[in-house]
């Protein structure tokens, strides 16, 4: 996207996601610290990315990403690395924090396709995608894979328990390796890749905790459920069993075809207070802008706002299986969600859409940058 997409996030948001011995808080003068403590408000602002994919995400790998977890963290911390295109990549200023949020479904699937592992080569799709990748046509494989995953037509189960366990261990190990309290915070997280007939309900899940609590909690998947309420139940169990802290951040309502911000749950029942309380508890933030389109406003919804058409992506749902219609737009954008939230508060007593806004990259290149003069694309193809 034009101009920087990297998050400028208040410490209040960051502090919700890491244990005290791995906090992003930097050393400050005693006066600043005492002022912050006495006022109860954060006074420091940090720069980072809460939504980055490495080669371990099945679509990112197929698109050509060959940059590892190590490379992603080294880049975020200001080191020069070699991008998947062979160009040298380096930030002008190191980040303060990073969330590597590889997809929960298909963890390690690309590597299995690349290496022609027996369990994926048993399937026609596996053979097809592996051959396309081998021929240098990984983008075709990625698009076909995404379409089949979106529609629930994959021949294979995209979550192999043994492979998923291995990849999650790698994810946790990398975060622990590169986390430097007081200097750089490596949050442990993943992307819950929920899709309902191609309609996007993705959430990035971010833990405030270290490996002692997160390692044993395998990411929740779309294969288990596409309903956000089931994700919240999973997060509730995590906090109950570990005493930890976790949150979920939705994104890309513009690819949901109207179901991101509704007045009814996925199962069709009307929102009640129990639902609205749970939603704002687990989802206090919304990723309102990223590479796949700005999610604040749309010219149809805000005809008098000359900037409402900034970086819109409004063609259809995630896999473009259903084209966008105007009646879907109100349930897709942050500004209309704020209005709907007031209506729901009057009805249920709680505003489920009283969230803070952040922006992230959702880069699938392992490179947490979207600056115009240092941009390597959404994907590595």
- Lowest average pLDDT, out of 12-16, 218-222, 306-310, goes to 12-16
Query: Residues in the chain, how many?
Result: 381
Task: Give me the pLDDT at residue 39, please.
Answer: 67
Task: Give me the pLDDT at residue 37, please.
Answer: 53
Per-residue pLDDT at 55 exceeds 80: yes
Task: Give me the pLDDT at residue 191, please.
Answer: 98
What value does the mean pLDDT take over residues 271-296?
97
Task: Give me the pLDDT at residue 8, please.
Answer: 40
Distance, CA of 251 to CA of 295 (rounded, Å): 8
Percent of the chain whose pLDDT exceeds 70: 90
Task: Give me the pLDDT at residue 32, please.
Answer: 37
Query: Tens digit of pLDDT for each residue in 320-336?
Result: 999 999 999 999 999 99
Per-residue pLDDT at 303 exceeds 90: yes
Task: Give me the pLDDT at residue 136, please.
Answer: 94
Percent of the chain whose pLDDT exceeds 90: 85
Task: Give me the pLDDT at residue 240, please.
Answer: 98
Which pLDDT band, with edges at 50, 70 and 90, does 38 fall under? low
Q: What integer best gives the mean pLDDT of the chain? A: 91
Task: Give me the pLDDT at residue 158, please.
Answer: 87
65 touches 54 (CB < 8 A):
yes
Task: Give me the pLDDT at residue 266, please.
Answer: 96
199 φ/ψ angles, rounded to the nearest 5 degrees: -85, 125
- Lowest average pLDDT, out of 13-22, 191-200, 323-332, goes to 13-22
Per-residue pLDDT at 56 exceeds 90: yes
Which pLDDT band, with edges at 50, 70 and 90, does 12 fall under? very low
Per-residue pLDDT at 40 exceeds 60: yes
What value does the mean pLDDT take over residues 33-49?
73
Measured at the alpha carbon of residue 205, what is the angle toward residues 284 and 17, in degrees to the nearest 5?
Answer: 65
Query: Tens digit of pLDDT for each residue in 57-111?
Result: 999 999 999 999 999 999 999 999 999 999 999 999 999 999 999 999 999 899 9
Which pLDDT band, with edges at 50, 70 and 90, does 210 fall under? very high
Query: Tens digit of pLDDT for each residue in 221-253?
Result: 999 999 999 999 999 999 999 999 999 999 999
Query: Tens digit of pLDDT for each residue in 123-152?
Result: 999 999 999 999 999 999 999 999 999 999
Task: Give me the pLDDT at residue 9, please.
Answer: 43
């Amino acid at each position: 996207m034009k101009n920087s997409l990297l998050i400028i996030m208040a410490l209040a948001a960051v502090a919700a996601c890491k244990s005290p011995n791995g906090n992003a808080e930097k050393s400050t003068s005693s006066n600043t610290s005492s002022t912050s403590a006495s006022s109860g408000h954060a006074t420091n602002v940090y720069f980072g990315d809460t939504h980055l994919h490495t080669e371990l995400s099945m679509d990112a790998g197929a698109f050509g990403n060959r940059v590892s977890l190590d490379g992603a963290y080294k880049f975020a911390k200001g080191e020069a690395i070699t991008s998947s295109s062979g160009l040298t990549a380096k930030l002008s200023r190191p980040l303060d924090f990073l969330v590597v949020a590889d997809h929960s479904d298909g963890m390690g699937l690309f590597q299995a396709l690349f290496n022609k592992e027996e369990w994926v080569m048993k399937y026609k799709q596996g053979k097809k995608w592996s051959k396309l990748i081998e021929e240098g046509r990984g983008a075709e494989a990625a698009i076909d894979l995404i379409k089949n995953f979106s529609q629930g037509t994959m021949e294979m189960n995209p979550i192999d328990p043994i492979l998923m366990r291995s990849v999650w261990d790698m994810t946790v190990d990398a975060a622990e390796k590169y986390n430097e309290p007081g200097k750089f915070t490596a949050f442990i997280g993943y992307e819950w890749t929920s899709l309902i007939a191609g309609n996007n309900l993705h959430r990035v899940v971010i833990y405030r905790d270290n490996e002692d609590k997160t390692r044993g909690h395998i990411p929740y998947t779309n294969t288990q459920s596409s309903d956000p309420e089931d994700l919240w139940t999973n997060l509730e169990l995590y906090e109950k069993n570990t005493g930890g802290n976790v949150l979920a951040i939705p994104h890309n309502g513009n690819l949901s075809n109207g179901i991101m911000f509704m007045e009814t749950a996925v199962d069709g029942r009307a929102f009640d207070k129990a639902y609205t309380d749970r939603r704002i508890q687990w989802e206090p933030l919304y990723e309102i802008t990223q590479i796949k389109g700005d999610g604040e406003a749309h010219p149809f919804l805000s005809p008098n706002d000359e900037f409402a058409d900034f970086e819109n992506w409004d063609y259809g749902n995630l896999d473009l299986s259903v084209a966008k219609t105007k009646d879907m737009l109100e349930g897709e954008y942050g500004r209309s969600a704020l209005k709907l939230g007031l209506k729901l508060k009057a009805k249920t007593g709680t505003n489920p859409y009283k969230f803070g806004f952040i922006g992230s990259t959702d880069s699938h290149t392992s490179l947490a940058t979207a600056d115009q003069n240092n941009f390597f694309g959404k994907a590595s193809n």
